[in-house]
Amino acid sequence: MAQTFRGGIHPPEMKEATSEMPLKVAPVPDEVIIPLVQHIGAPCNPIVDKGDQVKRGQMVGEPGGFVSAPVHASISGTVTKVEPRPHYLGRKIPAIVIQSDGKDEWADGLNVEAEIGSLSREQLIERIQSAGIVGLGGATFPTHVKLSPPNNSPIDTVILNGAECEPYVTCDDRIMIERPNDIVEGLKIMMKVLNANTGIIGIEANKPKAIETLREAVDKEPSISVATLKVKYPQGSEKQLIYALTRRKVPAGGLPMAVGVVNQNVATTLAVYYAAKYKKPLIERALTITGDGVEQPGNYMVRVGTSVRELLDMAGMKPEANKLVLGGPMMGLAQYTQDISVTKGTNGILVIANAESWDHTACIRCGSCVDACPMNLNPSEISIACEASDVSAIKSTQILDCFECGSCAYVCPSKRPIVHWVKFGKAELSKLKAQNQQKAVEPVAEKK
Residue 446: the pLDDT is 53
In angstroms, the CA 61 to CA 49 distance is: 11
Q: Which of 195-199, 379-383, 421-425 has the lowest mean pLDDT?
A: 421-425
Q: How many CA atoms lie within 13 A of 332 on its CB side?
A: 22
pLDDT at residue 285 greater than cutoff 70: yes
Domain ranges across the chain: 120-278, 368-447
Residue 9 per-residue DSSP state: B
Residues 215-263: pLDDT tens digits?
999 999 999 999 999 999 999 999 999 999 999 999 988 899 999 999 9
Instruction: Report the alpha-carbon distance of residue 172 to residue 168 in Å, rounded.
Output: 11
Which residue, 2, 4, 50, is CA-closest to 243?
4
Check residue 426 and report its DSSP letter: H
- Is the peptide bond preceding residue 234 cis, with omega within 30 degrees of 0? yes
The string of DSSP codes covering 283-328 is -EEEEEEESTTBSS-EEEEEETT-BHHHHHHHHTB-TTEEEEEES-
User: What are the residues whose beta carbons fall under 8 Å from the beta carbon of 140, sequence distance 6 or more?
Assistant: 38, 39, 40, 134, 343, 344, 345
- Whole-number Å distance between alpha carbons of 350 and 421: 23
Taking CA atoms, 333 is separated from 220, 355, 404, in Å, by: 41, 15, 12
Residue pLDDT, tens place only, 139-180: 899 999 999 999 999 999 999 999 999 999 999 999 999 999
Q: pLDDT higher for 120 or 90?
A: 120
Spelled out in words, what is the top-level CATH class assigned to the domain 120-278? alpha beta
Q: For the chain, state the CA radius of gyration.
A: 22
Nearest CA among 381, 315, 375 for reference residue 349: 315
pLDDT tens-digit series, residues 37-68: 999 888 999 999 999 999 999 999 999 999 99
Angle, vertex CA 426, rays to CA 422 and CA 427, nearest 5: 115
